[in-house]
Amino acid sequence: MTPRRLALAFAVAALGLSALACGGADAPAPLTDEEYLAVLCVGQERYAVAAETATEAAGIAVAVVAFLDDLRAVAPPPDLGGFHAAFIAYLEAAVDDPTRPLAVAPPLPAEEVRARLARRARDVSECRDPAFLTER
């Protein structure tokens, strides 16, 4: 290997290691069930209040965007990754049609996961009405 190729290979390897080291630090740690439920329940409550009180769709859209921002900022518990992505997509579709969640049911986690979350929601002060966990 020529000195130039050796230097290039070393630089590429160093960049790769640097990206690995830095990439993990930027990613949020997965939340516990209770922490994730708090995010879901706060967003659901914010949306419900907006849907009841807003005089225009734009007022409801503000709640949808805030919910999306909150969800995008966190990593769900490991077995909720698929649900998390599907729920974000569901809310993204509601940005331009903010009353859509009133008519279209949200995606739900698998039944056994929903049951686990419903049990844990009792211990989460933000979850006063976690109906989304029990309704199908």
User: Token pair for residue 27?
Assistant: 């990613």
Do 19 and 81 lie in one domain? The reply is no
Residues 38 and 23 in one domain: no
Q: Are residues 62 and 126 in the same domain?
A: yes
Average pLDDT over residues 110-135: 85
Which residue shows structure tokens 């080291």?
Answer: 21
Q: Is the pLDDT of residue 53 over 60?
A: yes
Q: Confidence class of residue 20 from pLDDT cuts 50, 70 and 90?
A: very low
Indicate whether 13 and 40 sit together in one domain: no
pTM for the model stands at 0.77
Burial of 70 (0-12, 13-18, 19+ CB in 10 A): middle
For residues 1 and 47, membership in a common domain is answered with no
The verdict on 19 and 38 lying in the same domain is no
43/17 Cα distance (integer angstroms): 38
Does 108 share its domain with 43? yes
Range of the structural domain that residue 126 is part of:
33-133
Which carries the bigger pLDDT value, residue 53 or residue 128? 53
Q: DSSP code of 104?
A: S
